[in-house]
Amino acid sequence: MAKIRIYRNPQCKRCARIARFHKYFDWANRIELSVSEPKSGPLALGEIAVEDLATGTMLFGFAAVAAICRAIPAYLPMRALFVFPAFRRYAAREASAGKITEA
């Protein structure tokens, strides 16, 4: 049963590739992918939002990346990088619309 729902902009090809990557490693079927508009509003190109299905909480930036890594067991080694502030900033930047362009 899915634990989180990952929302992405349907026009972003880069986001589509990353979403397929997440689904490939989600052997336990803990994530859902969605291109519909989240309850927080429309997403810009390159931006993702994650909804915790148990609580209904919307997560953005690094919190969204952390939720994805917690939901997919294959990403456990990546979670060790969360202690480094530089990695946290990088992950937050990649999950937001700040610098990402159409790829």
103 residues of the chain, pLDDT tens digit each: 789 999 999 999 999 999 999 999 999 999 999 999 999 899 988 899 999 999 999 999 999 999 999 999 999 998 899 899 999 998 888 888 654 333 3
pLDDT at residue number 95 = 86
Contacts 24+ apart (CB under 8 A), 61-64: 61/91, 61/92, 61/95, 61/96, 62/88, 62/89, 62/91, 62/92, 62/95, 64/6, 64/95
Strands (E), the chain: 4-8, 31-34, 48-52, 58-59
Quote the pTM value.
0.85
In the chain, where the domains are located: 4-95
